[in-house]
């Protein structure tokens, strides 16, 4: 393969561009456990989860807050983890899809998503589920129409919306029955 590439490695003697900020220590509490990272301040929470810790359950679908695949819960509030820097979230409780199930027991929404076939490729699913948990916490979704409106920040390209709503409605009903 040596014939393919001709360029010599860069010499780092002189940095011609503004150098990026040095790594800093960032402590993140994720799913009840503390993770200490040595990362540059420009690392998003999403990339910190996926690339630096290995929590790849949180998905990257656009990196611009336009699809909702990266939705996580921070102190119970749903946010797009691609639109926040990890360093900004020190001291807060971060919950990802990996933290929703209690040991072997799936979260009721996880069970309902399987039962209602509320996904196909599965890529938007962690974001959908975290978003639904956040929506329940907000307490403003009373009807199917509310759910549709309030879940519209999470795109499902496979088009599983009917089934996603059925799953959410079922869990909402179970919660009301408790």
Partner 1 sequence: MKSNYIGKPTSRVDGPLKVTGQAKYAAEFAADGLVYGVVVSGEIAKGSIKNIDVKEALSLKGVLKIFTHENVSGLPWFDKNYKDQDSPAGSPFRPFQDNKIMFSMQPIALVVAETFELARYAASLVKVEYKEDKHETVLMDHLDKAKKAPKGKVGFEEPKSRGNAGDAFKAAEFKVEGEYLHSAEHHNPLEMHATTVVWEDGDKLTVYDKTQGVFNCQQYITKVFGLSTDDVRVLSPFVGGAFGSGLRPQYQVFMAVLASLELKRAVRVSLTRQQMFSFGHRPSSVQRLALSASADGTLQSVKHEAFGETSRFEDYTEIIVNWSGTMYKCENVELKYDLVKLDVFSPLDMRAPGAVTGNHPFESAIDELAYALKMDPLAFRLRNYAEEDQMGGRPYSSKELKACYTQGAAKFGWDKRSIEPRSMRDGNQLIGWGMGTAAWDAQQMLANAKAVLSADGKLFVSSGASDIGTGTYTIMTQIAAETLGLAIEDVTFKLGDTNMPEAPLQGGSWTAASVGSAVKAGCEAVKAQVLKLAKKSKKTPVSGESADDLIIDDGYVLLKKDPSSKISISELMKQAEVGSIEEKAMSGPNPINKLKYTFNTHAAVFAEVKVDEELGTAIVSRVVCAVAAGKIINPKTAGSQIKGAVVWGISKALEEESMMDKNLGRFINHDLYEYHIPVNKDINDIDVIFVEEHDDKVNPLGVKGVGEIGIIAVAGAIANAVFHATGHRVRNLPITMDKVLGLSE
Helix (H, G, I), strand (E, B) or coil at 13: coil
**DSSP annotation string for 120-137:** SS-SSHHHHHHHHHHHHH
CB nearer to partner 1: pick between 40 and 74: 40
> 86 with 45: CB under 8 angstroms?
yes
Name the minimum Å distance from CB 164 to partner 1: 7
Output 74 or 106, the one with its CB closest to partner 1: 106
Are residues 36 and 26 in contact, defined by beta-carbon separation less than 8 angstroms? yes
Least Å distance between CB 136 and partner 1? 15
**11/142 with CB nearer partner 1:** 11
Q: In the complex, what is the shortest distance from the CB of residue 55 to partner 1, in angstroms, rounded to a whole number? A: 7
Q: Rounded to the nearest whole angstrom, what is the least distance from the CB of residue 88 to partner 1 in the complex? A: 15
* 93-95/33-39 β-pairing: unpaired
Spatial CA neighbour of 168 closest among 128, 140, 137: 128
In three-state secondary structure terms, 66 is coil
Which tokens is 12 given?
């780092």
Q: How far apart are CA 87 and CA 22, in angstroms?
A: 13
Among residues 17 and 36, whose Cβ is nearest to partner 1? 17
Q: How far is the CB of 129 from partner 1 (least distance, A)?
A: 6
Which of 4/176 has CB closer to partner 1?
4
Separation of alpha carbons 162 and 117, rounded Å: 10
């Amino acid at each position: 393969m040596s014939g393919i590439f001709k360029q010599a490695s860069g010499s780092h003697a002189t940095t011609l561009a503004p150098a990026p900020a040095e790594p800093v220590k960032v402590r993140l509490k994720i799913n009840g456990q503390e993770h200490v990272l040595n990362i540059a301040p420009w690392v998003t929470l999403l990339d910190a989860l996926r690339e630096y810790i290995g929590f790849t359950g949180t998905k990257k679908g656009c990196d611009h807050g336009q699809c909702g695949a990266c939705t996580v819960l921070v102190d119970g509030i749903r946010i797009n983890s691609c639109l926040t820097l990890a360093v900004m979230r020190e001291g807060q409780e971060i919950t990802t899809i990996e933290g929703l199930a209690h040991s072997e027991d799936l979260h009721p929404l996880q069970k309902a998503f399987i039962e209602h076939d509320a996904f196909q490729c599965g890529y938007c699913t962690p974001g959908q589920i975290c978003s639904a948990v956040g929506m329940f916490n907000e307490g403003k979704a009373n009807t199917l129409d509310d759910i549709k409106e309030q879940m519209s920040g999470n795109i499902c390209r496979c088009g599983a919306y009917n089934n996603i709503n059925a799953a959410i409605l079922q869990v909402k009903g179970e919660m009301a029955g408790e």
